[in-house]
Amino acid sequence: MCGIICYCGKKQAVPILINGLKRLEYRGYDSAGFSVVSEPGKSKSNKVRKNIIVKTKGRVFQLENKMEGIDIDATYGIAHTRWATHGKPSHINAHPQTDCSGKIGVVHNGIIENYKEIKEDLIRKGHVFKSETDTEVIAHLVEEFFTLCGGNLENAVLKTVQKLSGTFGIAVIHSDVDHKILIAKRGSPIIIGVGENECLAASDSNALAPYTNKMVYLSDDEIAVLTPNDYYIKNLSNETLDKKVEILESNDYKEDKRGFEHYMLKEIFEQPESLENAMRGRLIEGEGVSKLGGLEPVIDRIKNTKQLIIVSCGTSYYSGLLGRYIFEHLTELNIEVELASEFRYRRLKLNEEIAVLALSQSGETADTLAAIKEAKRKGALILGIVNAVGTSIAQITDAGVYNHAGPEIGVASTKIYTSQLVILTLMALLIGRYQGVSFIEGSEITDALLKLPGQVREILKEAPQIEKIALQYAKYKNFLYIGRLFNYPTALEGALKLKEISYVHAEGYAAGEMKHGPISLIDKNFPTVAIAPDDLTLDKMISNMQEIKARSGKILSITNPGVKKVIDISDDIITVPRTIPILQPVLNIIPLQLFAYYIAREKGRDIDKPRNLAKSVTVE
By the 8 A CB rule, do 83 and 610 touch? no
Hey, what's the torsion of the CAs at 108, 109, 110, 114, to 10 degrees? 0
Quick: pLDDT tens for 80-113.
998 777 888 898 999 999 999 999 999 998 889 9
* Conformational region of residue 406, where left means phi above 0, alpha means psi within -120 to 50, and beta covers everything else: left
Quick: pLDDT tens for 384-414.
999 877 777 888 899 999 998 888 888 899 9
Strand-pairing partners, residue 531, are 558
Split the chain (620 residues) into runs of 10 and give each run's mean pLDDT: 89 94 81 90 63 91 85 93 83 93 94 93 96 94 95 96 92 95 91 94 88 91 95 93 81 64 95 95 92 93 93 95 97 94 84 92 82 89 87 86 87 95 97 94 96 98 98 96 97 97 96 88 94 95 94 96 96 97 98 98 93 62
Computed from CA positions of residues 191, 197, 198, 199, in that sequence, does the dihedral angle turn out positive or negative? positive
CB half-sphere exposure, 33, CA atoms < 13 A: 26
Give me the active site residues, please: 2, 615
What gap in Å lies between CA 572 and CA 535, rounded to an integer?
20
- pTM reported for the whole predicted model: 0.78
For residue 45, count CB atoms less than 10 angstroms from its CB and return exposed for 0-12, middle for 13-18, buried for 19 or more.
exposed
DSSP assignment of 58-95: S-HHHHHHHTTT----EEEEEEEEE--SSS-S-TTTSS
What gap in Å lies between CA 136 and CA 104, rounded to an integer?
11
Would you give the DSSP letter of residue 97? B
What gap in Å lies between CA 258 and CA 253, rounded to an integer?
11
pLDDT at 374: 87
Domains of the chain: 3-247 (3.60.20.10), 264-457 (3.40.50.10490), 462-605 (3.40.50.10490)
By the 8 A CB rule, do 106 and 170 touch? yes
pLDDT at 70: 80
pLDDT at 43: 47
- Three-state SS for 581? helix
By the 8 A CB rule, do 203 and 3 touch? yes
